Copies of this chain bind each other. A is one copy, B any other.
């Protein structure tokens, strides 16, 4: 049997009624759907029918947008993904959860529970939270400084993975006759005592089908790259150009190798917001139409938050003012850099920049035919820029349906994407190893 082609991984990144900030104004969307499980069930079924690797949910812990003109509010990831687990069979379920405003015991437990409920389809997108708005919802005086957040994240992950290992896979024996429920030599306290956390354990749920959910990471700063290279199994990253994406890919894969890891066990998945049309000009018109629907006050608020500068005082059709240096940014550092570079490289006015960011908030937007989109994806995939993509439909459900009906079959024809699921877990879809239990052969007792 010949070795099959290397396969692309595709996540369906679901957000409200679409990723474009004006999606809610599009005639084909129904914004009241954002809290309706039937709507998300439909999206999940479209994505599963198209054999996507996973559903991907972003998250934030505060309303920081101009709510008058649009807002990222809606269902919480654990509850939504659990509900979707019950109505799907194959597709992975990746939820974003912050290490900054959570307790490791709660998080370890909920992900283990989701992994059990979905029979091995859970993934955790690890973020450290980037805004002071979130701090204010959690009784914190200020937002933790960037490198401190990553320190906390590293310890958090140590605790969480320790809790996932606190029950060996075969700890529950259920010997009714002998009255032995669990082999208590295979269940252990963690007794973590670190800088930030003191956690005894064991977890109050058994080890889940995947051992750990797939560990995804979504920061591309220096701290973020190091964290990903050591710990992540997939990276969701924003890359505007092929060259930058290739540099990022090579950099992170080589960092992983330096940590003694197999670089194939770390999937790099840039975001792509594809606006599809029957012809290129139709696609461009659709994109322009969406951009016309944007409300400047909304985009200005978003961009001001991102760049930490009040842009309302500058002319919309003038250039960006001088920006603070990246060292002064205590939020999403890599996204800040990307936006600053983009504005400078293309010499954009504030309005033009808002339009460029409206589709994907810094992720790449591309308008074209299904063949053109597939060409772009194939080029990035084949030239060392990505292992697959986080697909960010501009409006929903239409944009996902179009991608599923037009782009996926094109990728399948090219032998780049599965036509059937051949595994039952998200690790299986991504080709990732199941993590061994750190205690399983060590013979350490409780």
Contacts and interface: CB of A to CB of B under 8 A. Distances in A.
Interface string A1-33: 000000000000000000000001111000110
Contacts of A293: 179
Contact of A75 (B41, B62, B182, B205): B205
A31 B71 contact: no
Contacts of A116: 35-37, 75
Contact of A24 (B85, B106, B176, B200): B176
Contacts of A200: 62, 133, 136-137
A154 B320 CA distance: 49
Interface stretch (A107-115, A231-239, A258-266, A326-334): A107-115
Given A73-B206, A176-B24, A114 B79 contact: yes
Interface stretch (A191-199, A302-310, A375-383, A418-426): A191-199
A214 interface: no
Interface string A355-373: 0000000000000000000
Interface string A125-147: 00000000100111110000000
Given A32-B172, A116-B75, A182 B139 contact: no
Interface in A159-208: 172, 174, 176, 179-184, 187, 196-206, 208
Q: Number of copies of this chain in the oligomer?
A: 2
Contacts of A288: none
B79 A117 contact: yes
A37 B180 contact: no
Interface string A86-100: 110000000000000
A35 B183 CA distance: 17
A101 interface: yes
A68 B200 CA distance: 18
A69 B202 CA distance: 16
Given A69-B181, A82-B82, A199-B139, A75 B117 contact: yes
Contacts of A80: 82, 113, 117
A181 B63 contact: no
A84 interface: yes
Given A73-B206, A138-B199, 11 more contacts: A32-B172, A37-B86, A61-B204, A62-B200, A63-B202, A63-B204, A72-B204, A75-B113, A103-B138, A105-B138, A139-B198
B139 A35 contact: no
A67 interface: yes
B68 A31 contact: no
A76 interface: yes
A72 B67 CA distance: 43
A321 interface: no
Nearest to A24: B181
A198 B74 CA distance: 23
Contact of A179 (B69, B73, B182): B69
